[in-house]
């Protein structure tokens, strides 16, 4: 936004949200580093559930997913999914999609909790991602589940490194614009996740994007793209 006198003139972001930028940034056919998924035990825990807007005690099927680099991630699937077979399928779907994310985004993910219904995923810098499965069909149909997971893993693994960096704040200021409405709505919390997806798209997937999409990304946030290319160059964006 530019401030002219007392008036604020904002140039609109080119996209509504990162998951609407392009559905092919990561597709269901892209490889995953998931190797094994094993059921461990039933646990009880208090975990935030967006349906109740607070942490509530619930029972979970706990799985351990192992990835190619040897890292393990816990998948706790709410027993609201009724039986272990269904829960296993659900855990597998999300564990596979997590394995499709770049290594620098996976590295801090420790635990993923899946509630059987509800909307709105969340993630924190302690490595926890909470998924409300009520959004699954919608995002699956849009082929945007992978981009949604990408967004959440930025919160777990990159937010802290970027959001307090003076160079990042300068890039934000110099761009004078946001990549998505969502980033603009909460620049302190969502801009890194939204902009990093755009950076990944133009850096690693330019062959899948239309020229128009590339132009819109590069035109909106050139300073942020330059910032990311210095801090997380292309060779660090692999699986
Ligand atoms: Zn977010």
Q: What is the 3-class SS of 139-173, one letter each residue?
A: HHHCCCHHHHHHHHHHHHHCHHHHHCCHHHHHHHH
At residue 18, the pLDDT reads 86
What distance in angstroms lies between residue 155's CA and the mean position of ligand 1's atoms? 7
What separation in Å is there between the alpha carbon of 105 and the centre of ligand 1?
14
Distance 80 CA to ligand 1 centre (A): 25
CA of 60 from ligand 1 middle (Å) equals 24
Structure tokens at 136: 């699954």
Query: What proportions of the chain, in percent to the nearest 5, are helix, strand and coil?
Result: 45, 25, 30
pLDDT the model gives residue 3: 45
Span 13-27, mean pLDDT?
A: 93
- The Å distance, Cα 122 to ligand 1 centre, comes to 7
pLDDT tens for residues 208-234?
999 999 999 999 999 999 999 999 999
pLDDT in tens, 62-79: 999 999 999 999 999 999
Residue 130, Ramachandran bin (φ over 0: left; ψ between -120 and 50: alpha; else beta): beta
Q: How far is the CA of 5 from the centre of ligand 1 (A)?
A: 32
pLDDT-derived band at 10, boundaries 50, 70, 90: low
- For residues 151 and 164, the answer to whether their CB atoms sit within 8 Å is no
0.75 exceeded by the pTM?
yes
- Number of Cα atoms under 13 Å in the Cβ half of residue 37: 24
Q: Tens digits of per-residue pLDDT, 185-196?
A: 999 999 999 999
Taking the centre of ligand 1 as the mean of its atom positions, its distance from the CA of residue 188, in whole angstroms, is 10
Q: pLDDT value at position 1?
A: 45
Q: How far is the CA of 151 from the centre of ligand 1 (A)?
A: 6
Q: Is the pLDDT of residue 4 over 70?
A: no
> What average pLDDT is seen over the chain?
94
Task: Find the 216 Cα to ligand 1 centroid distance in Å.
Answer: 21
pLDDT at site 38: 98
């Amino acid at each position: 936004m530019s401030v002219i006198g007392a008036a604020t003139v904002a140039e609109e972001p080119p996209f509504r949200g990162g998951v609407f930028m392009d559905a092919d940034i990561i597709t269901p056919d892209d490889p995953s580093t998931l190797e094994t998924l094993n059921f461990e035990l039933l646990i009880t825990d208090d975990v935030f559930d967006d349906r109740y807007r607070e942490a509530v005690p619930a029972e979970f099927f706990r799985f351990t997913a192992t990835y190619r680099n040897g890292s393990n991630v816990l998948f706790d699937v709410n027993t609201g999914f009724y039986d272990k077979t269904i829960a296993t399928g659900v855990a597998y779907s999300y564990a596979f999609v997590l394995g499709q994310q770049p290594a620098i985004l996976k590295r801090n993910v420790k635990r993923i909790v899946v509630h059987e219904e509800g909307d709105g995923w969340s993630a924190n810098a302690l490595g926890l991602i909470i998924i409300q499965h009520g959004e699954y069909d919608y995002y699956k149909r849009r082929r945007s589940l992978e981009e949604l997971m990408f967004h959440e893993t930025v919160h777990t693994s990159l937010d802290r490194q970027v959001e307090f960096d003076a160079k990042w704040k300068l890039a934000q200021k110099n761009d004078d614009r946001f990549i998505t409405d969502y980033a603009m709505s909460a620049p302190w919390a969502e801009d890194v996740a939204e902009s990093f997806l755009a950076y990944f798209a133009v850096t690693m997937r330019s062959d899948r994007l239309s020229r128009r999409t590339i132009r819109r990304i590069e035109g909106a946030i050139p300073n942020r793209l330059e910032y990311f290319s210095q801090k997380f160059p292309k060779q660090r964006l692999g699986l």
